[in-house]
């Protein structure tokens, strides 16, 4: 993106985009919490913790590269 393209956005546009991004993030977090609690309730603690541990380990390995 060139400087000319960046200059066409006003401060209000940027603030609106930031606010909208935060709202979307909160909605996604609430959805993840809802799905996670449903999975935890349906399966129990042990399988959920095992899956979370494996996913955390994979995420750690990917981020460490």
Is the pLDDT at 4 greater than 90, yes or no? no
Supply the pLDDT for residue 64: 86
Supply the pLDDT for residue 8: 80
Convert the pLDDT of each residue in 23-62 to its tens digit: 999 999 999 999 988 887 887 878 878 888 999 999 999 8
Higher pLDDT, 54 or 8: 54
Q: Which tokens in the block code for residue 46?
A: 């042990």
**10 Å Cβ neighbour count for 52?**
13
Which residue range forms the structural domain that includes residue 33? 3-64
- Compute the C-alpha angle 29/47/37, nearest 5°: 30
What distance in Å separates the CA atoms of residue 63 and residue 65, rounded to the nearest whole number? 6
């Amino acid at each position: 993106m060139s400087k000319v393209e960046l200059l066409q956005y006003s401060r209000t546009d940027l603030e609106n985009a930031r606010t909208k991004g935060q709202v979307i993030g909160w909605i996604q977090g609430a959805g993840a919490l809802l799905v996670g609690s449903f999975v935890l309730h349906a399966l129990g603690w042990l399988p959920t913790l095992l899956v979370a541990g494996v996913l955390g380990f994979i995420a750690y390995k990917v981020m460490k590269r």
